[in-house]
Structure 1
Amino acid sequence: METSLYLPVKRHLESLGFTVKGEVGGCDLVALSGDDPPIVVIGELKLSFNLELILQGVERAGACDEVWLAARLSMNGKGRESDARYRNLCRRLGFGMLGVTHQGSVEVLVAPSAVSPRRNPKKRSRLVIEHQRRKGDPVAGGSTRTPIMTAYRQQALVCAAAMATGPCRVRDLRVEAPDAGKILLHNVYGWFDRIERGIYALTDAGRTALKRWPQGPSEVVPIAE
């Protein structure tokens, strides 16, 4: 699974001074430096280097400063990572290439270079805001078919947990969930029921959500290879 590549790549980027979180804004991972404004890195993961991985990088390039493409190294050493044409294409695009061994170590195959693609400041801003607002790193990059633990869902779970013992007032929830008013009003997940003005209770769907995420909304669960 692609998620098996996430933790090795995350650790590598963290060793370079980045804060890494998985599945942000549709990207397998987003890493931010501690600068202001931060350097934005997008990483995409695949089990092998292929054209689709490069195309994903092209799609992401406008929203970040660096693109890293990561895939598992082939057992026989004859995968695309050994194809000079593939590596040269990544160099021309300015993309970095990371190879992940079957033991979980990471090799830098191509370092990213400075290029000037057409920027998409709105998309970049959305990625930075979601990364900064999300608590911890709750989703392994490369996850599919599962709900993504966004900052919005994290705050909704905070509200739900507070209501586990009874109804709550919106103003009391805002301490831990600043967007509580909007979350309860729109009730996207169907977790809340308005009892009276400014007071909400938990629905059966909300209780089910608390059982689904008993470990809390901020921890990333390592996925075995």
Structure 2
Amino acid sequence: MMDKEKILEEDLYKPVHDFFEKQGYTVRAEVKDCDVTAIKDDFLIIVELKKNLTVELLSQAVKRQKISELVYIAVPKPKRMKADSKWKDICHLIRRLELGLIFVNFKSSKTFVEVVIEPKPFDRIKSINANKKKRASLIKEIKGRNKDLNVGGTRGKKLVTSYRESAIEIACCLDKFGPLSPKRLREIGTDCKKTVSILYKNYYGWFDKKSRGVYELNEEGKKNLKVYEELAKYYYEKIGEKVTSDQLRVQSTIDRGQ
């Protein structure tokens, strides 16, 4: 077994050379800046070798696509393979670039080649169709946000999602008019589908059940209205346009009497 730290790019050549030669190709190294070339009749394959899978390697391989039908990148097989989202994203990128991926395995006494991805045309329409649910979810989330309060590229901060926005809207209603039922909240204009779920699950811990089917805003909820002050201001104004305090006080009194 060879230590990856001691592996050189030139160590990748012989296994790749032998792999294509066994398939009837004439293989040559370092031809016109190409690491490996393999030709059978007029069919040309180019392989770029690197110790690590880098952006530089991908860029170099894409350039080779100008002169070859099939282009592979070849790297040493990682000691530990994790089939996580990061690896899946890397594979998607390689397929998106219509490149092939070869692992040169140095883990056994006999070095050998594994073709992980074959270079072939990428069907973008098929890819989009296969992710219709994710697309629909993204569009739904965009439409569910009324204010743009997040900063792109930030890490480690609580994001204002459409769910959090709905919770803040409910909190504003309860803060302004006192305890209310989900029915009254929906009449004011809170989300028809989310209102009951947000109050029942109480994911953020902002609401308390005052009586059967009636909820009120607790101190944690009031504190978060200050944290999300800009969004709360937006919903207070929105509520004010739809209903007057006197109307809701009457309904709140009815609710408390239930």
Q: Give the structure-2-normalised TM-score.
A: 0.40
More helix by share: 2
Looking at both structures, which has the greater relative contact order when contacts are Cα pairs under 8 Å and sequence separation is at least 6? Answer: 1
Look at both structures and tell me which one has the larger radius of gyration over its CA atoms: 2
